[in-house]
Amino acid sequence: MPIIGRNYYLGSSGQRETFNDNKSAFRKIKIIPKVLRDVSKYCTKVTVLGTEIDYPIGFSPVGLLKLAHPEGDLALVAGLKNWNTILIMSSYATNTIEDVAERAKGSSLQLWMQTYFFKNFTTTMDIINRAEKNGFKALVVSADTNVNPTETCGARSGLVLPPDVEVINVGQNYKTAIASNATFNDIVYIRSRTRLPIVAKGILSASDAIRAIQAGASAILVSNHGGRQMDYSPATIDALPFIVDTVKEYYPHIEIYVDGGIRNGYDIYKALARGAKMVFLGRPSIWGIAFNGSSGVNQVMDIITSEFQEVMTLSGHTDPNQITRDSLLPQLPTF
């Protein structure tokens, strides 16, 4: 991978503590297998926002994918075309919403659209309206990006895009386009202007999850932006159970998802055990297309679904919905 792409994707905020904790927190969690269970027949399907998918494994939004592969998001879509899963397209994509939708036509892939709250709210609404028009199934609003922090490797401040890479759905002022005055009222407004379900992404506290739901969110994506926003914020797998417990008490129908630090099928299992309905991968998709384009992404999905299927059955379960917190050693972090 060219160094500009490598630095952008490896960049993280502050001292890289949250970036590192996202992965190390998973390693501290131990699985308690249930033995002498009949696992000869099993199912890995789950229902997310009313749609059945084959695995509780999807892909988080990643921007500037042409830094990893010449086809950018189109390579990602092509690699996932035979998988009945969810891909969240970044508003900082280097392909148009229309081209990504066209590439996904006739495939098993479900497309969701991510957006930020932009200073020019017309940009936000344009992305939402185009996504809705082109058959995207949900809208993912990033709630954790009112300020762009300094990142290691010059991932933001030192980023100079080559001529053939354009943040095409946002425009040339993409570095300064995000609004610093966004509030939960912006979710209220978007809720009034779209038929798509809204997923609030970047939530790390139970109180913010409740506020997002009250503002109109249909689901919560527990995320710390892959360690690229507030350093020393908690690893998402550590924040997840507290958010799950609070939300399920007041809004039991609301689904909760998680991303951040997920690298294998064991991580998927642990996230489900701590209450996630769906788990999203970020950087693995980048390494997949950088390695071998669409075939590399397909290989990533093949590896991680096989790992998940194996750990699910090894632990004595035949369905993702059976995986609960008593599948893990009873040890939770305290805040």
Contact 282, 75 (CB under 8 A): no
Q: In sequence order, what E strands does the chain have?
A: 46-48, 51-53, 57-59, 86-89, 110-115, 138-142, 198-203, 219-222, 255-259, 278-281
**CB burial readout 129-155, b (16+ within 10 A) else e:** ebbbebebbbbbbbbbbeeeeebbbeb
Query: Catalytic residue positions?
Result: 225
Cβ atoms of 304 and 83 within 8 Å: the answer is no
Tell which residue, 126, 71, 117, 122, has the closest CA to residue 93: 71
Within 10 A of 244 (CB to CB), how many other CB atoms are there?
22
State the first-to-last Cα distance of the chain, in angstroms, to the nearest integer.
39
